[in-house]
Amino acid sequence: MSTKSRTRKLAGMGFLALFMGCLLALVFLPTPYVIERPGPVFDVLGQDRGVQVINIEDAKSYPTTGKLDVLTVSVVGNREDTPSWAELGMAWLDPAQAIVPLDVMYPPNVSTSQVNAESSAMMEESQQDAIAAALTKLGYTVPWHVYVSEVSKGSASSGKLVAADFVIKINEIAIKDIDQMRTVINAQAPSGPLKVEVLRNGVKTVETITAQKDKDGKYRLGILAGYKYDFPVKIKLQLGDVGGPSGGMMFALGIIDRLTPGQLTGGKHIAGTGTIDPAGHVGPIGGIRHKLFGAARAGATLFLAPDSNCDEVVGHVPSGLTVVKVSTLSEAKSDLEKIATGTNPATLPTCTAK
């Protein structure tokens, strides 16, 4: 073999080794990203693992038809096991998927198990809010109480308030709901420490707490608050392996459908997303682009989207799917009733470019 041929052979082997090295890097080297993609779809009017998603006791329920889909987003990867560069490349080519920085999805000081636990807690709280919103919409009286679900370590309330405290008053002002509580805190905190009255294990206790001012200029007690309800109807929502608060509106619509005669869907396949509060306000959610694709792939023809997510909807609606924007449970229910009686969904309010 000549010197020139030997040189070419060595060069070829070098390029091959470089190529194989790059290929191995694409497969095995860790990446600072995760992938969001459409996740499983669940019909709240149907069953999950052989169990009815909405189980109603102490009240008459009615059979119904059609589907009301709750949509999810799957995350590929976590801090312990990120997707490969090759997987990221494939996701980049798919409009239904998105590449997200690892630190955004899993903050450095928070473990994967903590993120999952928080997501599960948010789903449980969302389900309770959905039951309250649906029953209130149907004319039931649903008393609720503001309670402390978590106290942040090192916060103003650390060592003073505890999880499960019911918040009764702040500076002698009766607390009615979470939004009003925030308003009271920010109105009263500039004047000095707050007198926070709570009910703990059936005993009223008053704690003096100096609220901390955050970088946005808002005063915080350093707690997570939620609602405890006294439901007049016993309703269980059973949906495993799903986290987050985004199914609230669809759960509420499903409960209304089951507690009233007729078919709220008109027998149609409808999907949607949005948080819900006990007053029936529909709030924004994350991952709506993936949920649009998930709805279309599941066979839905109509998608109920929060008005506050419209900027993410415009330009990302898959073919065959009609989006109707809503801001309240009343609007969502009214829109479904119109569609069930023959109204063309395209004539209802939708998201438009601003």
The predicted-structure confidence for 120-134, as pLDDT tens digits, reads as follows 777 888 899 999 999
Residues near 213 by beta carbon (within 8 Å), at least 6 away in sequence = 189, 219, 220
Closest CA to 200 of 160, 166, 230, 154: 166
For strand 223-229 and strand 144-151, is the pairing parallel, antiparallel, or unpaired? antiparallel
**pLDDT, position 6:** 54
> For position 105, what pLDDT does the model report?
82
Query: Which regions of the chain are under pLDDT 50?
Result: 11, 19, 21, 23
- Tell me: the pLDDT tens digits for 311-327? 999 999 999 999 999 99
Position 230, amino acid: D
Domain termination site, one of 229, 254, 285: 229
Do residues 196 and 331 both lie within one domain?
no
Task: Return d(Cα 168, Cα 205) in angstroms, integer.
Answer: 10
In a domain? residue 23: no
CATH number of the CATH domain containing 210: 2.30.42.10
Specify whether the CB–CB gap between 352 and 314 falls below 8 A. yes
End position of a domain, from candidates 229, 247, 267: 229
How many CB atoms neighbour CB 5 within 10 A? 9
Distance CA 334, CA 237 (A): 23
Check residue 23 and report its DSSP letter. H
Q: Would you give the DSSP letter of residue 83?
A: P
- Report the alpha-carbon distance of residue 293 to residue 303 in Å, rounded: 10
Out of 229, 247, 270, pick the residue that ends a domain.
229
pLDDT for 229 equals 92
Judge whether 21 lies within some domain.
Answer: no
Q: What is the pLDDT of residue 118?
A: 74
pLDDT at position 267 is 93
Q: Based on the fold, state whether residues 75 and 212 are members of the same structural domain.
A: no
Judge whether 99 lies within some domain.
yes
* pLDDT value, residue 17: 52
Joined together, the tokens standing for residue 91 give 């996701």
Q: Are residues 134 and 250 in the same domain?
A: yes
Q: Are residues 190 and 301 in the same domain?
A: no
Q: Are 225 and 212 in a shared domain?
A: yes
Asked if residue 218 and residue 174 are part of one domain, the reply reads yes
**pLDDT at residue 18, as a whole number:** 53
Q: Tally the domains of the chain.
A: 2
Could you tell me if 309 and 285 are in contact, meaning their C-beta atoms sit under 8 angstroms apart?
yes
314 and 217 in a single domain? The answer is no
Please indicate, yes or no, whether residues 180 and 42 belong to a single structural domain of this protein.
no
Extract the tokens encoding 17. 């080794």
Structure tokens at 224: 């997570």
Model pLDDT, residue 324: 97
Single pTM value for the model? 0.81
Tell me: do 249 and 133 sit in the same domain.
yes
| Domain ranges, residue 268 | 33-139+232-347
